[in-house]
Amino acid sequence: MTGQLAPWEPQGRALRDEWRGASAGPIEVHVHGGDVERLDAAHFFREPADFDDWEHSALQAARGDVLDLGAGAGCHALALQARGLRVRAYDVDSHAVSVMRARGVQDVQLGSLAEAPDACCDSLLLLMHGIGLAGDVEGLAWLAEDAARVLRPGGRWIVDGRGPPDEADCGVSRQHLEYDGSVGAPYDWLWPHADFVQHELARAGWRCAALDTPRDGRWLLVAER
């Protein structure tokens, strides 16, 4: 096992190796005190024909200039580019950024939502359980504030997530990523139910609507101000 990396670098390394045709196995998501989930890096390279129905719903809701946050290998950004939309793809990992550029994503930025300019997009995409990036309930408030900052008037935030397995409104897990013996620093991950997110965003002045019927705890929302 090598030294600890930045939280998302194991995933970035897996995307790099998958792109090179040299995958060394799955990405492991270690939930502290819980299970280990294994993800195939090939999942991040799917074509639109292989997207789930909820992903098609999310992409169809995008309009205008799009900011795709945590864009990974760029599968959603590429699909939107093919529709003629202008997409700016952000990821915090340099390997993911290099992969997206190699795959033809036209505007790729290394960074988080905090680095995005004010009023830079009409649609903000935060997919693949994107709400988890908030980390906790306080982080959700900060995330909503940053989302409002980067959206232009009349813009929309398209976000998905998954609730906890129990009856709580939301949960927080401590977890880390591992790939090919490389371990990322731990981070917190938010697991809220859709009703909880809609309530919290309404308090901050957002109007929310469901884009997809929740199943297996997963939900998809569009929020506007």
Which tens digits make up the pLDDT trace of 166-194?
Answer: 778 999 999 999 999 999 999 999 999 99
Note the pLDDT of residue 216: 80
Q: Give the model's pLDDT for residue 214.
A: 66
Q: What is the mean pLDDT of the chain?
A: 96
Kindly list the distances between the CA atom of residue 161 and the CA atoms of 64, 122, 179, 216, in Å, as whole numbers in the listed order: 23, 21, 23, 11
Helix axes 137-150, 194-203, angle to 10 degrees: 60
What confidence tier does 3 reach under pLDDT thresholds 50, 70, 90? Answer: low
Q: Could you tell me the pTM of the whole model?
A: 0.95
Please check the confidence at residue 79 and state whether its pLDDT lies above 80. yes
- Given a cut of 60, is residue 2 above it in pLDDT? no
DSSP code, position 185: P
In DSSP terms, 29 is beta-bridged to 37, 177
Question: The domain 4-224 is classified under which CATH number: 3.40.50.300, 1.20.140.10, 3.40.50.150, 3.20.170.30?
Answer: 3.40.50.150
Q: What is the mean pLDDT of residues 141-156?
A: 98
> Does pLDDT of 1 surpass 80?
no
Write the burial class of residue 149 (CB in 10 Å: 0-12 exposed, 13-18 middle, 19+ buried): middle
Question: pLDDT at position 165, please?
Answer: 78
Q: Which amino acid is at 165?
A: P
Distance of alpha carbon 209 from alpha carbon 163, whole angstroms: 17
Residues 195-219, mean pLDDT to the nearest whole number: 91
